[in-house]
């Protein structure tokens, strides 16, 4: 990230968001350390705490501009709908493909770890910010509603190039029929399902006027942490490189926006 962008993103943060962002970064940096010291159980706790802190940071970023009612409403709809998507998906195989969660992530509701909807919440607003910044770059704000949905859903789905191989390796969820010709054992239907669900959520919520710079920064920090983590610590160089390219394409489009 350029120094100019970092300054703009930092200045756009309210004090609460700055504190939460700092805690999230410290926690994420510490996950490989606590894993080395205390093993897999500590890593699982670190994953859950990281999701909670990142989701809380995102909420704190949008709260001043959106107000409590809208922020609460968006968060509620995202968590309820994504729990429904995940519950339906793990029961029927639609729209992601046949998979199920193990009992490693707890607590769970209906077989779905309650942390999973928060993971959707922590990355959807950053994906919306990436889309908004990209549309500004190409001067499509006036007639880019469909483009906004498509870019948002694609930017969100690019994150799963990192996520799914990592979570499968750690046996947090299991594909009932691993795909030998898919993406590191992940069926390609999974990515179609992610794209579809993200597009539906974006269309339903109409998330216009997000605080672009700080949320794009969250997207960029996620990209950096996932890239370094998978290549340097988690022995997943293939998905680490693929995810770095996938998310990186959208990050570049957002970073070079004239608003930054």
What average pLDDT does range 75-95 have in this prediction? 95
Cβ within 8 Å of residue 55, ≥6 positions away: 118, 119, 121, 122
3-state SS string for 130-178? HHHHHHHHCCCHHHCHHHHHHHHHHHHHHHHHHHHHHHHHCCCEEECCC
Residue 60: which of 150, 149, 125 has the closest Cα? 125
pLDDT higher than threshold 80 for residue 59: yes
Cβ within 8 Å of residue 130, ≥6 positions away: 151, 152, 155, 215, 216, 219, 250, 251, 253, 254
Token pair belonging to 39:
């093993």
pLDDT higher than threshold 80 for residue 236: yes
Residue 163: which of 106, 46, 216, 242 has the closest Cα? 242
Domain spans in the chain, listed from the N-terminal domain onward: 3-255
d(CA 66, CA 210): 8
Half-sphere exposure of 204 (CA within 13 A, CB side): 16
- Please report the pLDDT score of residue 1 as a whole number: 57
Q: Which of 69-78, 128-137, 242-251 has the lowest mean pLDDT?
A: 128-137
Token pair belonging to 162:
């990192």
Cβ within 8 Å of residue 116, ≥6 positions away: 82, 83, 86, 101, 105
- 176, burial (CB in 10 Å: exposed 0-12, middle 13-18, buried 19+): exposed
What average pLDDT does range 4-24 have in this prediction? 83
For 163-199, the pLDDT digits (tens) are 999 999 999 999 987 666 689 989 999 999 999 999 9
Average pLDDT, the chain: 90
C-alpha distance from residue 20 to each of 15, 51, 83, 106 (Å): 9, 12, 25, 23
């Amino acid at each position: 990230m350029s120094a100019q962008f970092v300054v703009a993103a930092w200045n756009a943060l309210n004090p609460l968001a700055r504190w939460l962002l700092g805690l999230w970064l410290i926690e994420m940096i510490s996950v490989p350390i606590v894993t080395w010291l205390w093993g897999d159980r500590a890593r699982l706790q670190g994953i859950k705490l990281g999701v909670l802190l990142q989701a809380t940071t995102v909420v704190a970023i949008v709260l001043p501009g959106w107000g409590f009612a809208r922020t609460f409403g968006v968060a509620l709809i995202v968590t309820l709908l994504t729990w429904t998507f995940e519950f339906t998906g793990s029961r029927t195989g639609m729209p992601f493909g046949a998979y199920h969660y193990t009992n490693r992530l707890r607590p769970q509701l209906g077989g779905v770890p309650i942390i999973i909807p928060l993971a959707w919440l922590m990355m959807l607003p950053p994906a919306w910010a990436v889309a908004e910044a990209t549309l500004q770059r190409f001067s499509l704000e006036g007639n880019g509603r469909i483009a906004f949905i498509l870019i948002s859903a694609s930017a969100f789905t690019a994150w799963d190039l990192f996520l799914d191989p990592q979570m499968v390796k750690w046996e947090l969820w299991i594909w009932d029929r691993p795909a030998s010709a898919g993406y590191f054992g992940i069926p390609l239907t999974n990515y179609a399902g992610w794209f579809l669900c993200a597009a539906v959520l974006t269309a339903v919520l109409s998330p216009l006027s997000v605080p672009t710079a700080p949320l794009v920064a969250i997207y960029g920090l996620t990209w950096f942490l996932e890239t370094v983590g998978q290549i340097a610590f988690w022995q997943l160089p293939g998905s680490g490189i693929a995810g770095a390219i996938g998310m990186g394409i959208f990050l570049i489009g957002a970073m070079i926006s004239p608003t930054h």
